[in-house]
Amino acid sequence: MDYSKICEVYAALESTTKGLEKTDILANFLGEICDEPELIYLLQGRLFADYDNREFGISHQLVIKAIGRAAGISESEVVEEFKELGELGLVAENVLGKKKKQTALFSKKLSVEKVMENLRKLTTIEGKGTVDQKIGYIVELLHSGTPEEAKFVVRTVLSDLKIGVGSGILRDAIVVHCFSPKDLEDKKVCAIAVQEAYDKATDFAEVFSRACDDSLEKIKLKPGKPVKVMLFPKAKGVEDAFRIIGRPAAFEYKYDGFRIMINKEKNGKVKIFTRRLEEVTKQFPEIAEYVEEHVSGDSFILDAEAVGFDSKTKKYTDFQAISQRIRRKYDIAKLRDELPIELAVFDIIFYNGDSLIGKPFIERRKLIEQIVREEEWKIVLAKQIITSDEVEVEKFYEAALADNQEGLMGKSLDAPYKPGARIGHAVKLKPEDKDFDLVITGAEWGTGKRAGWLTSFDVACRDDGELLALGKVSTGLKEKPEEGLSFKEMTDMLEKLVVEVDGRKISVKPEVVVTVQYQNIQKSPTYSSGFALRFPRITRLREDRGVSDIATLGEIEGESGE
């Protein structure tokens, strides 16, 4: 297929803000790629399925170099244009447009296959001396396409197509194209089926081709391939928890660590994924050891929390204390000794060839009781009581807090596991719960003694795959790194993610998730969510979380009392 065809679709999507129009544009296009379902990734601005974490590893500086080289102008000229236009896609379109006019450059048509081939190469080469090679692959594409095609190549490389297509719209387009729903109700039912299939597969190409054949039910869990974890809404208190999950119910410690899905494949290999579907097997060699020694079964997928503890005092530590283990790729043995973790297993969704997601929670728990041999400070089951009694829950709640944990999780005994969904089968109970996990979408450079650092951050929640602004946060970070998460650390992280520059402000790829505490929530016409947080403060960096884990508009609304 010609790349120009997909660029026409991008342009049409960019020209409307209306969700229904976007859905129709996409649904029409899906008709053209039935035989090549992988092209759906390009509509997401990706090259692989969502569970596949291969990255381009391309900063905007590198793209500046590539544009300069392709257009035969200096880097500083590109930077000048960047300052003026604010976005590198437009810069590429502009400067290459001028060049192509001058030289009447003729090139044969750029194909989608060529774009995918070159961009996929970007994800495989790494190490010293590869920068030039990477630039070469981009330049080749910029040379062979029209200026508009160059714009979308650049935007794809920077993972920001600016076409306003989130996973919700793509899902709806699959529904419209594959099922032609009769009415709104039918559309909703189909959307749930497609969403459930997606949460198991985390791969729109697979979901699309299955939906085309009307065989969504054939999408199966497979150990080794990460799935979206089940999420939990908040309860206002013990009584509210019982109201949502029924009586009797299970209550468990809500451990203050990070979520991991432990996969044992049939060949015996253990793979570990965070809830943002990132593989962290290498960073946590002890997890595979504990699982091999303590869990029986040929293949399985366990849902668990990795919790830090102090090896001397045998006291649990908080998430922040062990968070550096998630990213660290070197000194792993040293870090393992310094920052040990215990696994608290709380669910199982696949065992010896069978999916368990439709089974009641109580049965899944019984199974983990049978197959996990507990050993303190290595692997345990989440501490649990089953009760109908509020006083008993309150006591257990206090015990969890005294044990340095965050609170409790309440769980319906007969509920299935719903990958990716945040529904009321289980609820969290945390004291002083005025915080949300949000993603940073932009930032502003500081002044005075904070010049050189980004010091104000735009944060957003999500709504059916779209991001909605909730305001700016400029407190919580530290000037001195030894005091905690610092402005410098955040600046270093965000600078790698810049997609747009507007004077002192930048927009970034939405990848950095932070916990933001606030005093209350106000209605606000200023921000696209319609709400603003009052006195917001960043309290944590959540390396283990991604955009799909952040708070939803529904939750913000719920807490606002509107």
Residues labelled catalytic: 254
The residue number whose beta carbon is nearest to ligand AMP equals: 259
- Asked if 70 and 79 count as a contact pair (C-beta separation under 8 A), the reply is no
Q: How many residues bind ligand AMP (CB under 6 A)?
A: 11
- Which residues are CB-contacts of 89 (< 8 A; sequence separation ≥ 6)? 151, 152, 154, 155, 158, 162
When asked if residue 428 is in the footprint of ligand AMP (CB under 6 A), the reply is: yes
Task: Yes or no: say if 536 and 473 are a contact pair by the CB < 8 Å rule.
Answer: yes
State whether residue 69 is helix, strand or coil. Answer: helix
> What are the Cα distances from residue 433, in Å, to 414, 522, 549?
27, 17, 17
Distance CA 199, CA 206 (A): 11
Q: What amino acid is encoded at 37 in this protein?
A: P
Applying CB under 6 A, does 382 fall inside the site for ligand AMP?
Answer: yes
In the complex, what is the shortest distance from the CB of residue 515 to ligand AMP, in angstroms, rounded to a whole number?
9
Examine residue 3 and tell whether it contacts ligand AMP (CB under 6 A).
Answer: no
Which residue of 346, 350, 397, 457 would you call a contact of ligand AMP, by CB under 6 A? 346
50 binds ligand AMP (CB under 6 A): no
CB of 304 to ligand AMP, least distance (A): 9
Distance CA 425, CA 413 (A): 9
Region near ligand AMP per CB under 6 A, out of 47-55, 83-91, 246-254, 486-494: 246-254
409 lines the binding site for ligand AMP (CB under 6 A): yes
Closest contact distance (angstroms) between CB of 403 and ligand AMP is 12
Span near ligand AMP by CB under 6 A; candidates 131-139, 144-152, 253-261, 329-337: 253-261
- Identity of the residue, 171 or 545, whose beta carbon is nearer to ligand AMP in the bound complex: 545
The one among 148, 172, 252, 458 contacting ligand AMP by CB under 6 A: 252
Q: Can residue 518 be called a binding residue for ligand AMP (CB under 6 A)?
A: no
Give the DSSP H/E element, type plus range, for residue 513.
Answer: strand 513-517
Q: Where are the beta strands (DSSP E) in 391-510?
A: 407-412, 426-429, 435-445, 454-463, 466-473, 498-502, 505-508
- Tokens at residue 384, please? 């649990």
To ligand AMP, the closest distance from the beta carbon of 490 in angstroms equals 21
Candidate ranges 83-91, 247-255, 369-377, 447-455; the one touching ligand AMP (CB under 6 A): 247-255
Does residue 378 belong to the site contacting ligand AMP (CB under 6 A)? no
The Cα–Cα gap between 184 and 192 comes to 12
Site of tokens 């550096």: 324
Tokens 């920001």 correspond to 160
Tokens of 465: 């795959």
Q: For residues 261-320, which are near ligand AMP according to CB under 6 A?
A: 305
Shorter beta-carbon distance to ligand AMP: residue 10 or 255: 255
Can you give the binding site for ligand AMP, defined by CB under 6 A? 232, 252-255, 259, 305, 346, 382, 409, 428
